[in-house]
A and B are shown apart, each in its own frame.
Chain A
Amino acid sequence: MLRRKFLTQSALGLNALSQLFGKGLPTHFPAKAKRVIYLFQSGGPSQLELFDYKPQLVKYANQNLPESIRKGQRLTGMSATQSSFPVIPSRFGFKQHGKNGTWVGDLIPHTASIVDDITIIRSLHTEAINHDPAVTFLLTGAQIAGRPSMGSWLSYGLGSEAENLPAFVVMISPGQGGGGQPLYDRLWGSGFLPSKYQGVKFRSVGDPVLYLSDPAGMTRDDRRAYLDTLNQLNEQQLTEFGDPEISTRISQYEMAFKMQASVPELTDLSKEPQSTFDLYGEDARKPGTFAANALLARRLAERGVRTIQLFHRDWDHHGGLQKGLPKRCQEVDQASAALIKDLKQRGMLDDTLVIWGGEFGRTVYCQGRLTADDYGRDHHPRCFSIWMAGGGIKPGLVWGETDDYSYNIVQDPLDCHDLQATILHCLGLDHTKLTYKFQGRNFRLTDVHGKVHKSLLT
């Protein structure tokens, strides 16, 4: 009763509230996808071992990368002064899978098993050659910090359909190698958009959401009684001052109270049947693993969360690729495929867009020492592979082609702004119309670029 009174008193307060919780906004055109799950592989997984099969490389093994391929393109400071650039073929096998006989690396057998449900893009490319600018570019549309992240654009543009959960949730898993490139709050930050659109990090250690738990010695009843008093006191103030912000504040405390119940319910996997863990792997029982986060992603999707972004770290194989890459693959392969199968069996794949990939690819030439049991690859921005599935994306497609060295794209290039435009399109948004005026200019996720690649769409 209390709440209804406030809402009628203040349409303004309601407006502010609806943008974060529980109220969708109209799309530009009918959307295929209602939500997006981005399985981000931070550090730059090698396309050469996973998706971009280059059998002919065996012929060129240990030879210097020809100038006709490199074409003087810039290299990172880490290999630019290297005295030679020996070509190194993948030391892991590839096999054909699915109806179309798509080549997939042996390191990711589970992904191979869903190849008919996903579209592999082998021709994504980026402008940046280092992690910070490259991840920032892919996820905010600009290399320099300050722009809103894709998820916050979606919250701004589409609002939320989750009742008691934020519209944009982020989860992070470290690679078990113990290292990996750092991540930055800006990757899910709201940039110049109001901060209510920023992604909320769900954590595996401590409170899943910062400050979610009441202190020890305080029960749910205590909190309820506390909030009843707080609300009444704030209501006194509202009567006195008439400021709509006060009624918004009261609603936000109520929402916080609901989150205190809904988030633990969400993260409690004890009621998931054994079949779930058979699907995602036993790792999914361990909080903080990629598998556990993938399972949570499905649970968040079921509850209407708009953007779910996972980050798995430690794909940066300058050296130690031969040992490190299989481990990373093992950590994410089964659960990534499981998520697709799970969404499909629940009838949710059609309206859930799933994306898997990193910020750039890796060089065909070896960086550092080349030995019988070790090699490494430097960052490679000119082509890299990702996959997409569900939510308006054609299944079973392989898009784009690179040259014999997986160095340059020879067919159907797709740049990061194109990817962003295409993602927004799946969600019913025209990337040229989703704008926010800041510093006198209408900003977009895709800046002044981006093209929707309709051939990728159903």
Chain B
Amino acid sequence: MKKFLSVLLAGILALSLVACGGGKSQSTTSASGEKVIKIGVFEPQTGENGGGGIQEVYGIRYANMIYNKVNIGGEEYKVELFEVDNKSDKTEAVNAAQKLIAEKVVAVCGSYGSGVSIAAGEYFKEAKIPAMGCSCTNPQVTNGNEYYFRTCFLDPFQGTVMSSYCKNHGYSRVAVITQLGDDYSEGLGNFFVKACEKNGIDVVAQEKFQTNEQDFKAILTNIKVANPQFIFAPSSIATAPLILSQARELGIDCQIGAGDTWENGTIIENAHGAAEGAVVTTFYEADPDKATGEEAIFLNGNGTVNGFSNYLVSMGQPKDIPAVSALGYDAYLAVFKAIEAAGSTDGNAIREALTKLSFTGVTGDISFNADGDANKNAAYVKEVENGKFVFKEVVKIN
């Protein structure tokens, strides 16, 4: 009898899956009689990149508060977000993506972290759902996937920018630290080294470390001996404070820099002052006084919202605006405008609209090239000063 029960159980399980999997159409009617379309939010809220992911989610949610009604074919639709947590994990990401597809989302925003975006991209492509990456900077995300777009620049660009920064500041000896098995870290490091060779900068040390490493003293000692003027250490926010504080402890006093991931308040807090002078490349610099248009709405609010800083505070977050939140906002806006322009919820129509889209978002003018990457040629360089990221300069690459 027991086995029949178990078979029955398994059967019920399978059926319930089928039941929750299907039977939804693209636009549904909510209880109050409004027509609703859904935009998927594909972000890590737990796991390695959980912290960065949630910051993008805030940006997307905030944009959704402002732009929540869209006119399609003469009818007004309410735009709802459907959030899934991809747990910064590729296996989870596949299921999370399928969940979005099953929910009949018309488009997707996300994700923080390129690995999960690459994994999910194949599925979005198959389902013909356009996806808009916020801060996934790996070339592979949009490469060969006509349904994936992104609002940020790419890894090669960041590596090149940092190298130009070194050149501008007269550094002739640099060192690189990268994380083994991490495409972001290795990618940035690699492009940085290539650009340095072109710029005539000497790369005096290249060190690598394992995932979850907590002891950097051995490799830092080697770097100290090589005596560089600048250390480029693109890595996750978990390792950043360790590298910074251990380097200072060993008496390495040259400037240390990294890519966009480091622009996060927790690094400054966790490094106990060792973060001073660290330099990062990032996507966006908030300047509430000079802001116009979309940026003004984002920073200072309008009738429905009263500024992103205040929104962050109301969510129990620090009031500093992370660049990825701005990207999340722009990603949502791009999707929203594309739906409006397409006048349809059809994936192909929205994709078409995205390729032709051009607007001014929070992070600047946004349009997409043939690969689906945003046409951006400038990066913002920020430096930690008195426990804060302070905007220093814009580096442009042509």
Q: Decide whether A and B assemble into one complex.
A: no
